[in-house]
Every structure is written in structure tokens, then in C-alpha cells.
Amino acid sequence: MTHRRAVFTMIAVTLMWSIAGVVTRHLEAARSFEVTFWRSAFTVLALAILLPALRGRAALLRSLREGGSTLWVSGLCWSVMFTAFMVALMMTTVANVLVTMAISPLLTALVARFYLGHRLATRTWAAIVVAGIGIAWMYAREVSGGGAQHVLGTAVALGVPMAAAVNWTVIQHNRSAAGIDLLPAVLIGAVISAAITLPLALPFAASLHDLGLLALLGVVQLSIPCLIAVSVARHLSAPEASLLALLEVVFGVAWAWLGANEAPAVHVLGGGALVLVALAGNEAIALRQSKAS
């Protein structure tokens, strides 16, 4: 896979990731941990079909047995991301969650710098700063200002960028070291997430309508894009993959506008434009440097 194709594929991944907010707005009865459980459970079911089809049952079992700490650390990171995002979304505003997630590129860059010893290009640092300003501009006026539940929800949301930073770095380190198949890590993460939230989700209240939407999230918003993201991440640096993942925030605004009648304000459109400029500028410079070399 070429670098350009990896970039466009990652953009498609963020488009699928971004539907979570608008879909949860249409749930009837499911709340909090039940939402997280059903989404993770449907992800497990989807991956139980997809992974054997992609890798073969024997190869999948061998990867689970021989993956070692790298596979399980990545799986644990996925479980934190799956769980913390949905729980936080049920506890506080979407704006609070997305603002918190916006620090992911900076955390990823720092983890990759200290763990892998990578020197980051100036263009990447500049893109992280500009994109961060754009995200802050988008949601600064909408972040809730009070309430213990909002504070706790934001703290839970912090687990998403922290786990993502570690995960992207592990994936990048793996491609240059052991070369372990990390696709099963997504399955491990979904299983852990479902197992942890099941006791907290009882008694179930989800309607058939809710189960249909949560199945959509489990398959289209998690299973498929996460498998693609793991494969694509082998062709992108950890900070670059994390930076591209910020498009989930921009796409999320668009979905909310189209699917939940939440028209974005001028500052949201302006902040989104800054994010797009940062991403486009970073990739354009990278492409030019690649051609020059």
C-alpha cells in the first residue's frame, strides 16, 4: 500500500468511526453501560465472522496463542477506547468528549518520541498545534461548565486518547520489530469491553430499535474500520495516524447536522476548516518530500 492510499483509507476509517454520536442520539431506551455492552457484543459477533474469513481459523488461534504481550497490550488499549468513549458519551456532552479526544495526536507524538525515540518532523508538530487550535475553537463555547457528572465524564473520556496514543505506538513498533498479527487485538478489546460492562448493563432496557442501531455501531462503526485501521497503521507513522483520526471530530459534526438537525455554528465551521487545513498541509508536505527523495 502506498502512503497516499494509506492516507485516504484512514480518512474512510474516520468517516465510519464518526457515526457514533448521531446514532446514539436516536436510541430509545438503552443508556450508559448497556449501550457500551451491546456495541461491544455486536463487535465480538462481527469479528468472530470477519477474522476467520480474513486469516483462517487456525491462523487466528495461533495468533492468539503466540501474540504475546504486544497483542494483549494492544487489545487492552482497544478495550479502554471502546468502553471509555461510549461511557463518557452517556455521562457528558459530545463536545466534552471530543475536546478531550483532540489531545490524542499530541499524546501519541510524545509517546512515540520517548518510547520509540522518533524525531518528529516540524510539519507534524505544526499540524498538531493548528489542528488542536481548530478543535478548541470548534467546541470552546459548547463545553459544559459545571456539574460533577460532567467532570467525571470528561475524566473517563481522557482514557480514549491515552489508550489510543499507546496503541498507535505499539502498532508502529510492531511493524518494525516482531511483526505480530495485531488484527486479533481488536477482538480481544471487544471481548474485554463486553465482559466488563455486562454486569453493569443489567437489567437490559434496549428496544429492538435500539438493538438494530447498536448492531450497526458494532459492525460498521467499530469492527470494519478498526480492522482496516490496524492494517493501514503499518504504513503511517503513529503521530500521523493519530492526526488523521482527528477527522472523526469534523465528520461527527457533519453527521449531527445531517442526521440530528444540529446545524453547526460559525465557530464550529471555522474550527473544522483549521483541522482540514492542518491535515491537508501535513500530507501535502509529506508527499512533496517523498517525491523529492
Q: d(Cα 24, Cα 26) in Å, to the nearest integer?
A: 5
pLDDT, tens only, 273-285? 888 788 778 777 8
Averaged pLDDT of the chain: 83
95 CB-contact burial (10 Å; exposed 0-12 / middle 13-18 / buried 19+): middle
C-beta atoms surrounding 290 within 10 Å: 11
Task: Specify which of 211-215, 240-244, 250-254 reaches the highest per-range mean pLDDT.
Answer: 211-215
pTM value is 0.81
Of the candidates 268, 272, 255, the one whose C-alpha atom is nearest the C-alpha of residue 21 is 255
User: 46 is in which domain, residue-wise?
Assistant: 3-292
The pLDDT assigned to 16 comes to 93
Q: d(Cα 264, Cα 87) in Å, to the nearest integer?
A: 24
pLDDT, tens only, 169-204? 888 777 655 567 888 999 999 999 999 999 999 899
Largest Cα separation within the chain, whole Å, is 60
Provide the domain count of the chain. 1
260 CB-contact burial (10 Å; exposed 0-12 / middle 13-18 / buried 19+): middle
Q: How much is the average pLDDT of 264-291?
A: 76
